[in-house]
Amino acid sequence: MTLVFATHNPNKLKELQALVPDFIQLKSLTDIGCTEEIIEDAPTIEGNALLKARFIKQKYNLDCFADDTGLEVAALNGEPGVYSARYAGEQKNADDNMKKLLKALQDTRNRKARFKTVIALSLNNKEYTFEGICNGAITEEKMGDSGFGYDPIFRPETYWETFAEMPLALKNSIGHRGKAVQKLVDFLKEKL
């Protein structure tokens, strides 16, 4: 079975291909020749994932799934949330985003946060969503050089390392995206 994963990000594609069983082959937006920017203007993480999946299904008529992820920080009333990728501006720069977040929390002891991923699947003209959450805390400085996004400043509950310090297999097994993907995979195994 081939599914389009609505991303151009090779890191995300690699991460997801490692999580899905061998009978599912993933193609990226680049693989199907999609060069348009898919506008993510929904007010929720789930809404943005659905927008992307619907775009691919309508334009290319391919079964697909899309994800959207947000980092929700308790002391900031859930920010950056749906705006996580562009928290510090439309240039979507991970270092700028982390700097802005660390500055916003510099005088705050409550550093609780959670990553939330929603996957929207468009399969056989039906839509499904799957959610994964990973609770943790924001560190006071960047640590580690693996991963992407906010990984160097997010430490999951019960771990001393940030996502950026962990091996990919461990991050996948405990992380928000891994949990959402596992729900997707379990669903696909039942359906097929």
Within the chain, how many helices (H) and strands (E) appear? 5, 7
Element (H, E) at 5: strand 2-5
Predicted local distance difference test score (pLDDT) of residue 65: 96
* Beta strand segments in the chain, E: 2-5, 25-27, 64-73, 80-81, 112-123, 126-138, 154-156
Q: Count of domains in the chain?
A: 1
- Asked if the model's pLDDT at residue 15 lies above 80, the reply is no
pLDDT confidence band for 11 (50 / 70 / 90): confident
Q: Is-catalytic flag, 68?
A: yes
- Asked if the model's pLDDT at residue 12 lies above 90, the reply is no
In tens, the pLDDT along 100-136 reads 999 999 999 999 999 999 999 999 999 999 999 999 9
Q: In this prediction, what percent of the chain has a pLDDT beyond 90?
A: 78
- Asked if the model's pLDDT at residue 192 lies above 80, the reply is no
- Asked if the model's pLDDT at residue 148 lies above 90, the reply is no
Q: What is the mean pLDDT of residues 144-159?
A: 94
Q: Which domain holds residue 63?
A: 2-191
CA distance 48 to 136: 23
Candidates 31, 41, 67, 68; catalytic one: 68
For residue 172, the domain's CATH number is: 3.90.950.10
In tens, the pLDDT along 31-78 reads 999 999 898 899 999 999 999 999 999 999 999 999 999 999 999 999
Predicted local distance difference test score (pLDDT) of residue 91: 87
